[in-house]
Amino acid sequence: MSDGQATPTGDEVERYDPLSFEPELAARWHDERVYSLPLDANTQTDGFYALTMFPYPSGDLHMGHAEIFSIHDTLVRHLRMTGRTVLNPIGWDAFGLPAENAARNRGADPAKWTYANIAEQRATIVRLGYSFDWDRVLHTCDPEYYRWTQWLFLQLFDAGLAYRRGAAVNWCEGCQTVLANEQVVDGACERCGTVVVRKPLTQWFFRITDYADELLDALPSLDWPERVKTLQRNWIGRSEGAEVTFRTAEPDGGAAGEEVVVYTTRPDTLYGATYFVFSPEHPLVAARMGDDPDYRVFMDAVSRKSEIERQAGFDSSLEKGANRAKRGLRLNFDMINPATGEVIPAYAADYVLMDYGTGAIMAVPAHDQRDFDFARQEGLEVRVVVAPDDGSDLGSGGHGRDGATMTEAYAGDGRTVNSGDYDGLDWRETKQRITADLEARGLAKATVNYRLRDWLISRQRSWGAPIPIIHCPACGEVAVPEDQLPVRLPDDLDFQVTGSPLAMHPTWKHDVSCPSCGSQDAVRDTDTMDTFVDSSWYFLRYLDPHSDTAAWPVDEAGRWLPADQYTGGVEHAVLHLLYARFVVKAMRDRGLVQADEPFQALLSQGQVILGGASMSKSKGNLVVPGEVYETYGADVLRGTMLFASPPEDDIDWADVSPGGMHKWLSRVWRLSVEHIAREEAGLGRPGTDDAVAALRKATAAAIVGVSEDYEARKYNTVIAKLMSLTNAVLDATRGGAHGPAVRDALETLLTLLAPICPFITEELWSRLGHTDSIHRQSWPQADTSLLVEDEVTIVVQVNGKVRGRVTVPTGADQQVTEAAARATVADQLGGEVRKVIVVPGKLVNLVV
């Protein structure tokens, strides 16, 4: 900025130095609990529940946190200024493996490690001015919290929604633990690199599949991004098909053979089923192949493949590739196709999963890519039974309908062929008829299947909420009585042991007797819960986070749920959101929540990347909020984040300019302090009428435009418009205006900017002489009369054809308008005007 280096009074203009006032304001807002919503305000009916995904406390905040919190806080501050009562809590998702790893690798105490990280993150959040309710802070690792996580488990247990069964799990020998699919990378443990194997283990599950239909059907009612809904829909994976009964072909030809049921979504392709595949774990495979050495070798190889790899083979939507080779074993018997009566070969192959459908399939290589790949690999027949409607040859390049020359499966629409009486029907019609015909013969049953599995919640780890169950030799699984909760973690765990420190603790699990029969032989369950259980209900706990009488206040849950707005990363689009939805529905069914859903609206912000790549410590391209803060302060960091893009888009830090944001805020600062100095010096001259009118109009226009953009959450254009208003103020002052219109414009600018840059606006607001906080001001209202244009342009037509345009004063009457129109086209009339049609403010049509 080139204008004036000194105030009108001759003093040096004070530079914008955010770090000279931000820390003090931040501390005050925090210490005075300015943004706390008292518990008795819970009863408010106009309440807005603004929820943001709570952070995991590993190290300090990263740029992703700064982005989400900046978006979220802007939303919240704007809502408050528009008069809403906002519940804006924060907490920490504080259980989990990293603390345990720190304990194992560096001898840290997991609790100390966790709370130290929380303290660091909290300090950063305070410094950055995020207006959370510091009275409602929770940490999921606090006994006062996990007591109720355990209570939640018991609710589900009591409802029959928590159960134990044996399941093949991803097992890491190195960490001695079960891994979630996401923790298996290229078949190895994400943390230690050990090859992951499948191992049967007794595990706790939550019966989320009971809610599969509802979880799916309610999606349209949610104001969520389509892509997130699609991810959930695919994860639930509902499909309609039929279970069809096949039989084993017995060598003597006479015996009836054993029944084996398959699940298929395409019963219409039954005539194209040229072979049969069992999951390797299918009981019939073991029964028939038991001692076969090839079978042993095969099973050994299969067990080394992780669930995730097998899913990849199973999921036809994933790209085809060399690593998708399917492992198969020809079995020592055949099957009979119930439609054709043909004897078809039976295989076991790892692309068929035991826990989906029935664990066995009819393979239709012409129309299923997985089967096609396997058929080509094994040299099996490919028989076309669906022909494209347009009569084109499959694979067009002259392949004909010959399965032998197809290069990939055909999964499109078409007519049924090679299928006896069904030939010529649309495949959907065939699907219905074949299903009905087989049903009539007792060979099929229409069924619905889901990809969704029950939620495996047990972890053989120790920095988590212990599962509140006691195993008694006489009574079985017995719930820990509620008044004995929490089942506390011992504080003398040895993290150097192999396996679960909790299970290896010498006394912990034995220090208990059966609550039901008193047996001293009872032991505690030594598993802890998946941390997704902790985060599946924290938004309920915020309603009264320190209560020791209830997990949450049921009445108030009725008022606050579903949360009006949830902001967070798309990485949680599936599991966390699905689990929270399930828990709310299950609790609703116990009368503990009224809502059907936890989160009505969802905003998934983009990622912060650098030069097109994701940031990471290992790549050495990590920008941390702390650095930006040290140089520029919190407002610049926040403003930069929001100016970079609309909230949903990624931010490439290589393209943004904290320097540019700093420059603009410096200009706002200078304009304000100069104005204040002028007023104090009695130099507040109004300026010319034109300058004043132009500035007042720019101010009103900014209020209208910016308010709309806030509602639409287009914070980047909010900032752009405020930059324009800043320029309008600058123009006015350069033109000699220094009076009330400038003050109004500056105060409006600051008020409109307050949700984004809370510090500079608060500081200047107080320097402008206000004693109350800018954040408690109500939202500015525009004087819209200033925005009415004083002239309008009218279209002039002759005989309905446009012949010219003319401007008339706004609100001009018919006569004036008509006269102006006639004058404009006088030389084009060429005759007497017979009729005049006037559409006020728009057009005049002269008919000659």
| Interacting residue ranges for ligand ANZ, rule: CB under 6 A | 237, 239, 241, 263-266, 269, 279, 314, 351-353, 356-357, 359, 361-362, 364, 367-368, 449
**Smallest distance, ligand ANZ to C-beta of residue 163, A:** 22
Cα(711)–Cα(717) distance, integer angstroms: 12
Residue 551 lies near Zn ion (rule: CB under 5 A): no
Q: How far is the CB of 214 from Zn ion (least distance, A)?
A: 36
| Residue 269 contact among Zn ion, ligand ANZ, none, beta carbon within 5 to 8 Å by kind | ligand ANZ
Q: Is 512 in the site for Zn ion (CB under 5 A)?
A: no
Q: In angstroms, give the least distance from the CB of 156 to ligand ANZ.
A: 27
Report, in Å, the least distance between residue 484 CB and Zn ion: 15
Between 448 and 839, CB nearer to ligand ANZ:
448
Q: Which does 362 bind (CB under 5 to 8 A by kind): Zn ion, ligand ANZ, none?
A: ligand ANZ
Q: How far is the CB of 365 from ligand ANZ (least distance, A)?
A: 9
472 binding partner (options Zn ion, ligand ANZ, none; Cβ < 5 to 8 Å by kind):
Zn ion
266 binds, among Zn ion, ligand ANZ, none (CB under 5 to 8 A by kind): ligand ANZ
Is residue 285 part of the contact set for Zn ion (CB under 5 A)? no
How many chain residues are in contact with Zn ion, going by CB under 5 A?
7
Candidate residues 265, 432, 513, 516; the one interacting with Zn ion per rule CB under 5 A: 516
Nearer of residues 349 and 502 to ligand ANZ, judged by Cβ: 349
Choose between 386 and 456: whose C-beta lies nearer to ligand ANZ: 386
Q: What is the DSSP letter of 186?
A: T
Residue whose C-alpha is closest to residue 129's, from 807, 708, 634, 680: 634
Q: How far is the CB of 334 from ligand ANZ (least distance, A)?
A: 18
Outline where DSSP puts E strands in 182-327.
184-185, 188-189, 197-206, 239-249, 259-264, 275-278
**DSSP of 350-380:** TTS-TTSTTSEEEE-TTT-HHHHHHHHHHT-
SS3 content of the chain, % helix, strand, coil (to 5): 40, 20, 40
368 binds, among Zn ion, ligand ANZ, none (CB under 5 to 8 A by kind): ligand ANZ
Residue 474 interaction partner, one of ligand ANZ, Zn ion, none, beta carbon < 5-8 Å per kind? Zn ion
Which stretch, 460-468, 516-524, 618-626, 670-678, contacts Zn ion (CB under 5 A)?
A: 516-524
Residue 235: both structure tokens together: 């994860």
Binds 475: which of ligand ANZ, Zn ion, none (CB < 5-8 Å by kind): Zn ion
Our CB check for Zn ion shows the closer of 520 and 799 to be 520
Residues in the chain: 848
Q: Cβ 520 to Zn ion, closest distance in Å?
A: 10
**Residue 44 contact, options ligand ANZ, Zn ion, none, Cβ 5-8 Å cut-off depending on partner type:** none
Structure tokens at 377: 């690999």
Q: How far is the CB of 89 from Zn ion (least distance, A)?
A: 41
Q: Considering the rule CB under 5 A, would residue 514 count as an interface residue with Zn ion?
A: yes
Of 349 and 665, the one with the shorter C-beta distance to ligand ANZ is: 349
Of the two residues 77 and 282, which places its CB atom closer to ligand ANZ in the complex? Answer: 282
User: Which residues, at least 6 apart from 776, have a Cβ–Cβ distance to it below 8 Å?
Assistant: none
Query: Dihedral of CA 420/421/427/431: which sign?
Result: negative
Nearer to ligand ANZ, 122 or 367 (CB): 367
Distance, in Å, from the CA atom of 452 to the CA atom of 316, rounded to the nearest integer, reads: 17
Taking CB under 5 A as the binding criterion, the range among 500-508, 511-519, 655-663, 693-701 that sits at the site for Zn ion is: 511-519
CA atoms of 196 and 307, how far apart (whole Å): 9
The answer to whether residue 432 forms part of the interface with Zn ion (CB under 5 A) is no
Q: How far is the CB of 213 from ligand ANZ (least distance, A)?
A: 15
Contact 439, 446 (CB under 8 A): yes
Give the list of residues 6+ apart from residue 674 with CB closer than 8 angstroms, or none.
4, 7, 8, 13, 733
Q: Judged by CB, which is closer to ligand ANZ: 62, or 370?
A: 370
Which one among 176, 265, 369, 519 touches Zn ion, defined by CB under 5 A? 519
Q: Give the C-alpha distances (Å, rounded to integers) separating 35 from 86, 90, 130, 462, 724.
A: 9, 12, 10, 35, 31
514, interface contact from ligand ANZ, Zn ion, none, CB < 5-8 Å by kind: Zn ion
Of residues 559 through 588, those in contact with Zn ion by CB under 5 A are none
Smallest separation (angstroms) from Zn ion to the CB of 523: 11
Strand arrangement of the beta sheet that strand 469-472 belongs to: 476-479, 469-472, 523-524
* CB-nearer residue toward ligand ANZ: 18 or 359: 359
Our CB check for ligand ANZ shows the closer of 138 and 384 to be 384
Strands (E), 104-250: 133-139, 162-172, 177-179, 184-185, 188-189, 197-206, 239-249
Distance of closest approach, residue 122 Cβ to ligand ANZ, in angstroms? 45
Shortest reach from residue 450's CB to ligand ANZ, in Å: 8
Residue 352 binds: one of ligand ANZ, Zn ion, none (C-beta under 5 to 8 A by kind) = ligand ANZ
Could you tell which of Zn ion, ligand ANZ, none binds residue 449, using a CB distance below 5 to 8 A set by kind? ligand ANZ
- Per CB under 5 A, contacts with Zn ion among 446-505 are 472, 474-475
CA 383 – CA 544 distance, rounded (Å)? 64
516 binds, among Zn ion, ligand ANZ, none (CB under 5 to 8 A by kind): Zn ion
- Distance between CA atoms of residues 371 and 136, nearest Å: 55
C-alpha 74/C-alpha 642 separation (Å) is: 9
Residue 241: CB minimum distance to ligand ANZ, A:
6
Rg of the chain on CA atoms, in Å: 35
444 binds, among ligand ANZ, Zn ion, none (CB under 5 to 8 A by kind): none
- What phi, psi does 800 have (nearest 5°)? 85, 0
Distance CA 642, CA 505 (A): 50
Report the nearest approach of ligand ANZ to the CB of residue 759 (Å).
Answer: 53
Cβ–Cβ < 8 Å for 667, 623:
no
Provide the phi-psi class of 420: left if phi over 0, else alpha when psi is between -120 and 50, else beta. left
Walk across the sheet containing 177-179 and list its strands: 177-179, 162-172, 197-206, 455-456
Beta bridge partners of 806: 794
Task: State in Å, rounded, how far the first CA of the chain is from the last one.
Answer: 60
Give strand pairing partners of 379: none
Q: In the stretch 177-216, what mask flags binding to Zn ion with x, by CB under 5 A?
A: ----------------------------------------
- Nearest residue (CB) to ligand ANZ, 237 versus 515: 237
326 binds, among Zn ion, ligand ANZ, none (CB under 5 to 8 A by kind): none
Residues 743 and 717 sit within 8 Å (Cβ to Cβ): no
426: Cβ contacts below 8 Å, ≥ 6 apart:
413, 414, 415, 416
CB 652 within 8 A of CB 609: yes
Round to whole Å and give the CA distance between 629 and 648.
Answer: 23
Distance in Å, CB of 529 to Zn ion, minimum = 23
* Cβ-based nearer residue to Zn ion, 387 or 472: 472
The one-letter code for the residue type at 406 is M
Rounded Cα distance, 304 and 288, in Å: 22
Helix (H) or strand (E) holding 807: strand 801-809
Supply the minimum distance, in Å, between the C-beta of residue 119 and ligand ANZ. Answer: 47
The token pair at 405 is 């020359």
The count of C-alpha atoms lying within 13 angstroms of the C-alpha of 453, restricted to the half-sphere facing its C-beta, is: 17
Residues near Zn ion (CB under 5 A) are 472, 474-475, 514, 516-517, 519
